[in-house]
Amino acid sequence: MKIRYIIYTLLAIGLAYLVYYRISENKKIAAEGNGAKGGGGAGGKNGKGGKGGPPLAVEGVVVQTAKFDNDLEITGSIEPNESVVLRGEVSGLVTGIYFKEGSNVSKGALLVKINDRDIQAQLKDALTKEKLSATNENRAKQLLAKGAISQEEYDTSLADLQSLKAQTQLIRAQLAKTSILAPFSGKVGLRSISVGEYLTPSTTIANLVSTNPVKITFSIPEKYAGQINQNANIDFHIDGSHQTFKAKIFALEPGINQATRTLQIKALAPNADGKLLPGSFAKVKLALATINDAILIPSEAIIPVLNGKTVYISKNGLAQQVKVEAGNRTAESVQITSGLNVGDTVLTTGAMALKPKSPVKVKLVKAKS
């Protein structure tokens, strides 16, 4: 019986201690809450929206306007000014190759010769018949003048002569097709035929390209289409070189590509030293209109969200989340087209720890230009 009383007494003492401890802790929490309400400091008026802790130390910049060179950076490709796959028009054995692989050739230069002995024979026969027909036509003309033959007989001899002349021209055209000439001046590539090979119109001989100048082909989003002028200058770079190359726009596609919503543009760049190889990528920098009163903020201040972009600003010592619309960007800055005003303090650090109406202590820093 005594042991049972002792156990009951210990349980009662323990329960009383727990009740006392709980009441004491509640009083402490209430006292801390009242202290935060009265001395919010950087928390603004009465510390509204704060969570009772000290303000978060962050960095920020004051929004100002500045001159912004609105440059658009896109990727393009380098293409030859002219390019063709050399092929023959007639079939026959290759009797001569008159170019060196990788060499420059002039317009009209003979590149490949196809066996033409059968066509030469046809031409001789046609010329002989034409000569005889011309003699007959001349004789008939004299006889007609003397009234010895009718006009119909003369017309027949004249028609025969004209027909033979047309056949001769046709054979000469066939003969010309046995000589494959360079259609323009340029550099001929690696050949895929040899002397003695039977050539057909589907056989590839080599590639011929003209690479001075070269074409720079690139596309821009349709929203910038109205800011592009023909004859405008562009700068571009290529991989493996720190040199800045120049080009001039010479052609714009007359319409927007419906699949990509872009406008295709071509520019010409001089390439006398041959550094620009067709097929290479080009990093194009296109200068658009200069904005004199643009709002620029550091790119690290931008917070992507589900339906756009936001930034935090400091207002009355509290963090406030603002939705913004961004324009072009540079390596360090982003142009803001709406959502911010001159004089706003944009927070550039602490974005992961910030919540709306959190108390903040802002250290102003100089915005990077």
Residue 135's CATH number: 1.10.287.470
Residue 104 has pLDDT above 70, yes or no: yes
Q: Given this model, what pLDDT does residue 99 score? A: 94
Query: For residue 102, is pLDDT > 70?
Result: yes
Query: 161 pairs with which residues across the strands?
Result: none
Instruction: Find where tokens 């896109």 sit.
Output: 74
Q: What is the mean pLDDT of the chain?
A: 86
Q: Are residues 312 and 347 in the same domain?
A: yes
Comparison of pLDDT for 329 and 326, the residue scoring more: 326
Lowest mean pLDDT among 66-80, 113-127, 206-220, 307-321: 66-80
Instruction: Please indicate, yes or no, whether residues 302 and 345 belong to a single structural domain of this protein.
Output: yes
Average pLDDT over residues 250-255: 92
- The reply to whether 82 falls in a domain is no
* Residue finishing a domain among 145, 177, 209: 177
* Residue 174 neighbours by CB under 8 Å, 6+ apart: 90, 119, 122
Say if residue 63 is in the same domain as residue 125. no
Is the model more confident about 98 or about 39? 98
Q: Is 24 inside any structural domain?
A: yes
Q: Is residue 31 part of a domain?
A: yes
Residue range of the domain that includes 311: 46-68+292-364
CA distance 219 to 258: 13
- Worst-scoring range by mean pLDDT, 53-57, 232-236, 270-274? 53-57
Examine residue 213 and say whether the peptide bond preceding it is cis (omega within 30 degrees of 0). yes
Give the CA angle between residues 241, 268, 214 to the nearest 5°.
60
pLDDT of residue 143 exceeding 80, the answer is: yes
Q: What is the pLDDT at residue 119?
A: 93
Name the domain boundary from 159, 177, 195: 177
If one counts the domains in the chain, the total is 3
34 and 50 part of one domain: no
First CA to last CA distance, the chain: 87
Shared domain for 60 and 122, answered yes or no, is no
The predicted pLDDT at position 287 comes to 81
| Residue 262 resides in a domain | no
Alpha carbons 1 and 54: distance in angstroms, whole number: 58
In angstroms, the CA 333 to CA 302 distance is: 10
* 331 vs 302 pLDDT, higher one: 302
Q: What's the pLDDT score for residue 19?
A: 66
